[in-house]
Amino acid sequence: MIVNLLVGGPEADWPVGLTDKMQHPTADEVWVGADYGAVRLVKQGVKPILAVGDFDSSTAAEIQLVRDHAVKSVVRPKKEDVTDTVLALRYIFQELTFDKVVIYGATGARLDQLLSNIFFVLTPEFKPVCEKIEIVDRWNQVGFYLPGQHLLKKLPNTRYLAFACLNKVTDLHLYDAKYRLDGVDFSEPVSLSSNEFVGETTSFSFQSGVVCAIQTHD
């Protein structure tokens, strides 16, 4: 099963066709809303199985709308020391059985929220399961990887490929991308951007750390 998590980023950054995807889910996917993402889901006619957040940007009527339509709703106290996205993921991992969580609305204009939605995978809570988490917007698809060997399939309509080392990464090999690496260590976070696929797949491996692979287009 795939859990689609909608958070509160701008609708302008949603992937093309996301509204239709919300309204016509497949049998193997469900929707969860974090904060104003839950409001947007309900307004699209979606019945989220879970809605989580402090809803500080929502009206009382919108909060009641979520309570009325979500299978389960959690209105958390304000000033809790965790983001709405992380709180929603915490409930997802504790209460649902799934193969992947795909997060929408996690990018957008605010860089602080973007960084929060990238770096949370380094925490002890989520690092062991980070390979089950994906972030998607209109231009990018982001996946997280633990040490080992990995194969990426090229997505339609994407051009560029990036490998971002989120922490200390050792023995990084990029075997068959346009720009290759042969066992390079990185002691600090770095984004190896503007690489490209040569064929329909590419492979990479590394010995330690967490690597974020991004397929993107202009």
- Which one of 138, 159, 192 terminates a domain? 138
The verdict on 69 and 105 lying in the same domain is: yes
Which pLDDT value is given to residue 79?
Answer: 58
pLDDT in tens, 15-28: 999 999 999 989 99
Q: Which tops the pLDDT comparison, 76 or 49? A: 49
The verdict on 37 and 121 lying in the same domain is: yes
- Which one of 107, 138, 169 terminates a domain? 138
Which pLDDT value is given to residue 77?
Answer: 65
Q: pTM for the full model? A: 0.94
- Both tokens assigned to 166: 């989120």
The verdict on 119 and 151 lying in the same domain is: no
The verdict on 112 and 131 lying in the same domain is: yes
The verdict on 86 and 158 lying in the same domain is: no
| Cβ 6 vs Cβ 104: under 8 Å | yes
Into how many domains does the chain fold? 2
75 has a pLDDT exceeding 90: no
CB count in 10 Å sphere of residue 174? 20
**E strand spans, the chain:** 2-6, 29-34, 50-53, 73-75, 100-104, 133-136, 140-145, 148-153, 160-165, 169-174, 181-186, 190-195, 201-206, 211-216
The verdict on 56 and 112 lying in the same domain is: yes
Domain that holds residue 180: 139-218
Give the pLDDT band (50/70/90) at residue 109.
confident
pLDDT in tens, 154-209: 999 899 999 999 999 999 999 999 999 999 999 999 999 999 999 999 999 999 99
The verdict on 98 and 15 lying in the same domain is: yes
